[in-house]
């Protein structure tokens, strides 16, 4: 124990403070704009129910990273909920597999009005690499109406935030 303390004392402070990264500043600015639009439209947080309809897991990984302490999308008024009955939006990832089509439709129907659907990732938009697969339905818009799309494979947390900002800037139908 004493050896560790002595070595730490001899070496001194090795880390240095890193200033704000330009992408970080953009993320903060976009997030603040999003928070003001969400409060204006909903008067509270935007509640999102995420549904994986057969993805590889990359989009879910980026969504999870958007909620980690580095990006912390919740501070901008975006909350992920476990029940579609508490959700304002449905975030769909992956190509719709045949066994998930009915589950997706029922999840959408369980949501209260007003509700909207956001697709996340290239696979969710049109099936991506799996669009010609025998087990893929293809476009999600065949099952539920889509209001917005988050592009990318997988989309970066900043792309998720940008897409939500664009969606909140437009009227939700």
Q: Taking the CB of residue 101, how many other CB atoms lie within 10 A of it?
A: 18
Locate 138 and state its tokens.
């293809």
Task: Tell me the pairing of strands 78-80 and 46-52.
Answer: parallel
Locate 16 and state its tokens.
């240095």
Among 52, 81, 57, 51, smallest CA distance to 67 is for: 81
- 25 φ/ψ angles, rounded to the nearest 5 degrees: -65, -40
SS3 assignment, position 52: strand
Q: How far apart are CA 3 and CA 52, in angstroms?
A: 51
Structural contact between residues 65 and 71, judged by C-beta atoms closer than 8 angstroms? yes
The fold adopted by the segment(s) 33-167 is Rossmann fold (3.40.50)
pLDDT (tens digit per residue) in 132-162: 788 888 778 889 999 999 998 889 988 999 8
Containing H/E element for 120?
strand 116-120
- For the chain, what is the mean pLDDT? 85
pLDDT (tens digit per residue) in 59-97: 999 999 999 888 889 999 999 999 999 999 999 998 888
């Amino acid at each position: 124990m004493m050896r560790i303390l002595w070595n730490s004392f001899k070496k001194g402070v090795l880390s240095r403070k890193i200033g704000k990264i330009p992408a970080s500043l953009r993320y903060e600015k976009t997030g603040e704009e999003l928070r003001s639009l969400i409060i204006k439209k909903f008067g509270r947080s935007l509640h999102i129910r995420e549904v994986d309809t057969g993805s590889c897991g990359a989009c879910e990984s980026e969504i999870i990273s958007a909620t980690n302490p580095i990006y912390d999308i919740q501070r901008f008024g975006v909350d992920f909920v476990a029940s579609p009955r508490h959700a304002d939006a449905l975030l769909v990832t992956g190509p719709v597999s045949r066994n998930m089509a009915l589950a997706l439709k029922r999840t959408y129907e369980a949501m209260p009005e007003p509700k909207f659907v956001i697709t996340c990732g290239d696979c969710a938009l049109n099936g991506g690499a799996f669009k010609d697969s025998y087990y893929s339905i293809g476009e999600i818009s065949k099952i539920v109406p889509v209001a917005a799309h988050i592009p990318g494979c997988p989309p970066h947390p900043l792309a998720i935030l940008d897409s939500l900002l664009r969606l909140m800037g437009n009227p939700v139908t």
